[in-house]
Structure 1
Amino acid sequence: MAVQLLLLVALKVAHVWPFNRTLGEVDQTFARRYRLTKTDEFSSVFGFRKAIRGKLLMLHYQPRPAGNDEARLGVVVAKKLLKRAVDRNRVKRVVRDQFRRRRAALPAYDLIVRLAAKPLPLDAGMLASEFVALLGKLPRLRPKQEE
């Protein structure tokens, strides 16, 4: 029993978890390639100046360059709106989870979600539903016509 447990821990630590993607399982991780990480990436999306506003959230978006077909996400929650780190982290966690679940169906955009108003009380369900509604309002990209 102890040997099996050690083997299980060793597989998890080595990131060689036996996961079969050929059975139609969808990768729902929030890997680094699905995140906006650099300041320049955030600046270019904000500089594109396209946004959709909801009651609590604001969704900034920019189409990704040709050859990139996956959506990426960045989340900004100002300390001015939510003083407690616990609350800021909860907003980020809810938004990232909804993105992770819907990422495969999203068009190739760089997205930044920003808290636009102070939510009182902080309701995860309301944040999640508003984020999903904003994703539904994203314009669909048209494929380039070859001449």
Structure 2
Amino acid sequence: MEQTFARRYRLTKTDEFSSVFGFRKAIRGKLLMLHYQPRASGSDDPRLGVVVAKKLLKRSVDRNKVKRIIREQFRCQRINLPACDLVVRLAVKPAPLDGKLLASDFLALIDKLRRPRPKREES
């Protein structure tokens, strides 16, 4: 398995983040929110962007820790992911910053993303 978080797996530009947020599809977890958008047919790699607001975590050490944990989980799960752009953001302020809780929440969101949702019946 590749041990790096290469540039082709990252969302880097503001426009890329904006297009994912503009697609308006999201899954909410306990601590995190996963925004996603399917990629064009020509590309098959998933890409990740992480947003941690200063309003929720004041210390940069804590914000960077959240980003490191999410990137590492993404790197380990990347081969199982569909081709889509993902933006993960912290939805609520974690009381104690628990890395295992963040990792499990991210993995639960990824699991929800992989499972196809049943279509709602129209009345």
Q: TM-score if structure 1 supplies the norm length?
A: 0.77
Percentage of identical aligned residues = 75
Which residue of the partner structure matches residue 71 of structure 2?
Answer: 96
The answer to whether the aligner puts 1:138 opposite 2:117 as a matched pair is no
2-structure distance, mates of 1:114, 1:56: 9
Asked if the contact 1:58/1:116 (under 8 Å) is kept, the reply is yes
The number of residue pairs the alignment matches comes to 116
Aligned CA-pair RMSD:
1.1
Mapping for residues 23-42 of structure 1, pairs under 5 Å:
26-42=1-17
> Which sections of structure 2, spanning at least 5 residues, go unmatched?
117-123
Asked if the contact 1:57/1:115 (under 8 Å) is kept, the reply is yes
> Which sections of structure 1, spanning at least 5 residues, go unmatched?
1-25, 142-147
- Please say which structure displays the higher CA radius of gyration: 1
2-structure distance, mates of 1:91, 1:62: 22
1-structure distance, mates of 2:28, 2:73: 17
Which of 82, 93, 110 in structure 1 is aligned with 2:85? 110
Amino acid in the other structure paired with 1:63:
P
**1:84-135: CA deviation from partner (whole Å, max 9, x where unpaired):** 0000000000000000011011000100000000001000000000000000
The answer to whether the aligner puts 1:74 opposite 2:49 as a matched pair is yes
2-structure distance, mates of 1:89, 1:112: 16
**1:31-67: CA deviation from partner (whole Å, max 9, x where unpaired):** 0000000000000000000000011000000000011
2-structure distance, mates of 1:52, 1:121: 23
Q: TM-score if structure 2 supplies the norm length?
A: 0.91
Amino acid in the other structure paired with 1:27:
E
Moved over 4 A (4+): none
Higher relative contact order (CA 8 A, sep 6+): 2
Asked if the contact 2:29/2:105 (under 8 Å) is kept, the reply is yes
